[in-house]
Structure 1
């Protein structure tokens, strides 16, 4: 298989995954928005590619317009992939290791995907965390709890990207950290950046200044918490259940 064939195969597999995720979602608009944010592409850029008004994309994402059918979903997915290719294809290739992953990494303690995103402030409140660096806040579409020692010792920077699941706009909760430096170094050398980093087992004042500096470079919100890990997982998984009652 030539490199062009390989790239085309990767793109087709990713397109199939994205289209299926959007079409089968209980909230297609939220899923569409999640993928657009993952690719860091604006509503206007998609609209220009499809030659429609940006309000059309906005209406689909917000649910004001009837859920898009498979044909429209396919066109939107194609626009995301094509725009990324025009920008060098970094996002597409960043997902390659995830597509090729045979099994979940032993470094992952727990992972969860949200249909309705959680805001950073709500997450911080639930886990009784302290914001070390506020960064650029984004809606968080899931969380992953990572055994940082295993991840750093066992995974290459390329394999590290497998830990993100299917949405980069998620909270990456790192356990077994002493200063928080190692996880942030690993994040710095990958193309995919999380929506927030949570350092478990540290107080605010125990986070090294260099860790905060690294978070500032990529504008990644940085949070510290000492809450029991199982309690964190339980509370975050329950979030979607009581969201509707708020």
Structure 2
């Protein structure tokens, strides 16, 4: 699904197993890496969130818990950050839905869901995992095997796919890799067909102790191949705060 919002195209992805849909969009960033100075990045993030909020607010969907707040005249949009750096969306004086950002491929990306689920978005480029990258320090053999089947045996592409999934998951948990190690996020083989893949994800070890919900496969990730990179969006439904 694609919806033009001024000069920003809003995309939608659905999670058949729970929650959603999630809406996401991107803008060109400054420089080849897609990262600019703090001020310009903040402006781009706010533009993206505004487009996403306008889109969600215009939808007639009873599941959108925040739809009545998506009025910029009475609820100005602000993006703040939590103690671990995770973004927080405020609509006026009210905490808004979960929002997530990523940078890569010369773009800044944002994702938002209005049904109360927590989300994370990440993009990872194949080139980041070339050469002597220590794959087995961050990925399990089983993960590399089934991801490799999706990438024609290209380990760099498989690693980029897995990294984008793991990064999206820890962003959805709100902790990034501050409290959860990469190998504590286990990616299971994909399900479904069509464009993109759906992955069930489970937490292991100390991560499972911190986030018990992750032991029941209540974390799902949608991943899409882009040119030389992967885009992944994680959805955590009913997470305990």
Would you tell me which structure has more helix in proportion to its own residues? 1
Would you tell me which structure has more strand in proportion to its own residues? 2
TM-score (structure 1 length as normaliser): 0.30
